[in-house]
Amino acid sequence: MQIEKYKIDEINQQHLAKHRRQFEFVAADVANLDLVLQKLGAFNIAIPSWALGTGGTRFGRFSGGGEPRSLEEKIEDVGVIHALNKSSNSISLHIPWDIPENAASIKALAAQVGLHFDAVNSNTFQDQPNQKHSYKYGSLHHVDKAVRKQAIEHNIEVIKYGVQLDSKALSVWLSDGSNFPGQLNFRRAFQNTQESLQEIYDALPDDWKMWIEYKPYEPNFYSTTIGDWGQSYLLASKLGAKASTLVDLGHHLQGTNIEQIVSILLMEGKLAGFHFNDSKYGDDDLTVGSINPYQLFLIFNELVEGMDARGMNHAKDIGWMIDASHNVKDPIEDLLQSVQAIKIAYAQALLVDKNTLVTAQNNNDVTLAQEILQTAYRTDVRPLIAEASLLAGGSIDPVGTYRKLNVRANLIKERGLKTVATGL
C-alpha cells in the first residue's frame, strides 16, 4: 500500500490554522529559525527491517495483523512511514532474516518510495537451518577456529549483499559471552574476537565502515565479550579507521551516563552511530522517548555540541537508526512515535543557547548552565517538527494521519490477519 500525497495534504489542510498559530508562537523566539527548519528537514532515521512486525518476549508474541510477509512488503511499510514523516528515508537489512533475492529489483522498489539502504546487519546469535557449526558457545570469539571461520564467512557474505544494495556499513552485534564464571578465558575470547573482526574488516570495501555494538548482558548473563563502550572502542582502535563504536541506548546498565560516553567517542572520532529505543529496566526496546525523554535530550545536546566541534554534518556523518520492539502497539505507529521523539530531542538540542552555556561553564555558574539546558528541553518544539514535515511534503501529525487513513485496516485486508514477519 502506498499513501498518495494529496490525501496527506487534505488532512493537513484541516489542521493548518491551528498549526500556524502554534508555530508562530514558538518560532517567534527561535533565533536561527530557517537553519533549524533546514536541519530538521535534512534529518532522517533509518528503519530496521525487523521492526515492522510485532515483537515478543520469551513468554509469547501477540501479532497485530497485516504484518509484512516479505522484504517487498517491509519496504512498502517503511515507504508509508516516510510518506508521513519525510524523515525515514532508509531501511537497514538484517541477514539472513531479509535476504534480497534480486538486488536490482529490491533497490528499484525502494527507490520508488524514496528509500535507500542503510547499514546491513549480520546475525551470529542464532543457528540457521543447515548450518554446519553451532553458535551455542559464541561465534567470533569461539574456542574452535572452525566456528569462528563460519561466522567470519557469514559476515563477509552480508557485506556482499550490502554492496549490491549500495549500503555503506556493516553493523556487528555479537551475543558472544559466558553464562558462568570459569566458562571463558576473557583475554582469549577478546583476542579471538579481534582476529575474527580483523578478517571481516579486511574484506570491507574502501568506502565502507564497520560499526561495533556492545551490550553488558543478555543473552549471556555472566559476561559479554564486547560488553561496554571501552571494549568496543578498543577493538575499533586496533582495527583501524573504518571501525567505530555503535551505541544502542538499551545496552547500558541502569544509571549509565550515556551522554558522557557519546561525548568522548565523538571527541575521538569513533562514534559510528546510534540504535534508538527506550528502557526502564534493561534492554526493554520500548518506544524512543517513552520513558526518559530528558536523557534523550541530554544525549542530543552532546551530539550536536560534539558534532559541531568537529564540523560534522548532523544528518549524514553518524548512522541514525531505531532498534526497538513493539509488543503491544501497531509497529508502524510505534516507529512514527519514535521518529517524532528523536526529532523533538534533536530540535531541543538545536535550541540550546550555546554561547551563554560556554560562559556559564567557564564561570562555574552551575545554576545558569542548568537553566539553559532546561529552557531548551521545556520548549514545546512540536510545531517546529510539524512545520519541517509540512515543508518536506509530509504530515503535520503522522500518527493522526495514519489513523485517519485507516492504513492498518487496509494492510490487514491486503495481507490477512495472521501474517508473521521475520525477525525475533
List of residues contacting Mn ion (CB under 5 A): 248, 275, 323
Residue 322 or 357 with smaller CB distance to Mn ion: 322
Instruction: Return the number of the residue (148 or 275) whose C-beta is nearest Mn ion.
Output: 275
Q: How far is the CB of 321 from Mn ion (least distance, A)?
A: 8
Report, in Å, the least distance between residue 228 CB and Mn ion.
14
User: Least Å distance between CB 123 and Mn ion?
Assistant: 12
Our CB check for Mn ion shows the closer of 174 and 405 to be: 174
Q: Which residue has the cell 502506498?
A: 2
What cell numbers appear for 285 in the block? 526496546
Q: How far is 149 from 167, CA to CA, in rounded Å?
A: 24
Dist. CA 147–CA 137, nearest whole Å = 10
Shortest distance, position 258 Cβ to Mn ion, whole Å: 13
The amino acid sitting at 258 is I
- Nearer Cβ to Mn ion, position 67 or 248? 248
- 241: its cell numbers: 579507521
Residue with cell 526502564: 280
Question: Among residues 88, 35, 87, 41, which one has the least CA distance to residue 350?
Answer: 35
Cβ atoms of residues 243 and 229 within 8 Å: no
**Would you give the end-to-end CA distance of the chain in angstroms?**
24
Nearest to 250 by CA among 208, 210, 295, 206: 295
- Compute the least distance from the CB of residue 173 to Mn ion, in Å: 6
Q: Cα–Cα distance between 66 and 55 in angstroms, integer?
A: 14
Of 232 and 348, nearer to Mn ion (C-beta) is 232
Output the smallest distance, CB 394 to Mn ion, in A.
26
Query: Would you say 66 or 273 has its CB closer to Mn ion?
Result: 273
Torsion of CA 318, 385, 298, 238, to 10 degrees: -10
